[in-house]
Structure 1
């Protein structure tokens, strides 16, 4: 006599629920990627300076890549990222000027899946003040606007040119054209004297005859 095992709906539902729980708990570790827990500078933080960027993840990561950009999109030189357990550390060799910055990072999660993100922050401070006239020792003239300086320099240059012309006229004493005329008169006078000296003996011989 054969006996047939009957499966009640409750047993079927119970077995299906147990399989679903088993698949859920065994698959969840594989589907859960690592994530960024904290950072220094923190997101949207305002800091005085940054010497090092620190990124901490929920587990150890591999192949870190970190880039820093300023507000204009220009890349700021950084040191080579290094791993320290779940942390990624990157040196900032140069002081950062006041302004907004963005850290862009990319790592490979412990499950082999790449993850990435961005961290905006800003450096506090203002532009360096202009050097005062007292520190330079130049006095009030250092603060004179360029147009005012040019206006003040124009009369000075004109006065210098006039003084130079006056000194030249004083040193000359007599205009050049007068000296030229006198030279011509001297030459003409010499020619007349030479001709007169030559004609004198001829006339004396004629008178003697």
Structure 2
């Protein structure tokens, strides 16, 4: 039985499409930006905000300190691509990690962690009598040291979220490529004159 060259070509094209197009088709949503940003230093924190590349649902947000103690947070609220969680108590100075998990728009769970540092609430200075000349000069207001929430690159967000191409996709692509090569070899053998 001779195999048509068109069948061989179609099998090879299908195999190549699976190999090269599957990463884009199977890409999950990812974290686009956060406040506080990754590795930022903040003076205070009233709310955690996470922005994703698409709508998400079923959010979970936890905040842990350097001693792995969980801090109290409000219930996470979803508004389209945003998840916001209230931080009801002032954070003492130290290192913290925000752990998050959501269900992406394609139904797959994604998760990640955002480390940051809190400088803590500034302690009030003791009141001391000052001369009248010094009182007429307004005190300087320190600039807020919160780092801007820069969007994460898709590669970093994908690495944090544990996204990647599942192994079964590579196995299926390799199997399709082998079937295509086998069909091509079978077709070329059938064409040889005996």
Equivalents in 1 of 2:112, 2:83: separation in Å?
A: 14
Distance 1:5 1:84, change over 3 A: same
Equivalents in 2 of 1:129, 1:48: separation in Å?
A: 14
- SS of residue in 2 equivalent to 1:18: helix
Compute the TM-score of the two structures, normalised by the length of structure 1: 0.53
Distance 1:6 1:66, change over 3 A: closer
Kindly indicate whether the alpha-carbon contact (under 8 Å) linking 1:30 and 1:111 is maintained by their aligned counterparts in 2: no
Structure holding more helix per residue: 1
Aligned to 1:107: 102
Q: 1:118 is matched with which residue: 113, 130, 142?
A: 113
Q: How many corresponding residue pairs?
A: 129
Q: 1:32 is matched with which residue: 9, 23, 27?
A: 27
Task: Return the index of the structure with the highest Cα Rg.
Answer: 1
Aligned to 1:187: none
Q: Which runs of 4+ in 1 moved over 6 A?
A: 129-132
- 1:123-138 → structure 2 map (5 Å cutoff): 123-125=118-120, 128=123
Q: 1:89 is matched with which residue: 84, 87, 91?
A: 84
Matched, 1:7 2:13: no
Aligned to 1:74: 69
- 1:1-209 → structure 2 map (5 Å cutoff): 7-8=4-5, 11-23=6-18, 27-28=22-23, 31-125=26-120, 128=123
- SS of residue in 1 equivalent to 2:85: strand
Offset, 1:122? 0.5
Note the residue ranges of structure 1 that are not aligned, 5 or more in a row: 136-209
- SS of residue in 2 equivalent to 1:93: coil
Equivalents in 1 of 2:24, 2:121: separation in Å?
A: 48
Compute the TM-score of the two structures, normalised by the length of structure 2: 0.56
Kindly indicate whether the alpha-carbon contact (under 8 Å) linking 1:96 and 1:123 is maintained by their aligned counterparts in 2: yes
- SS of residue in 2 equivalent to 1:64: strand
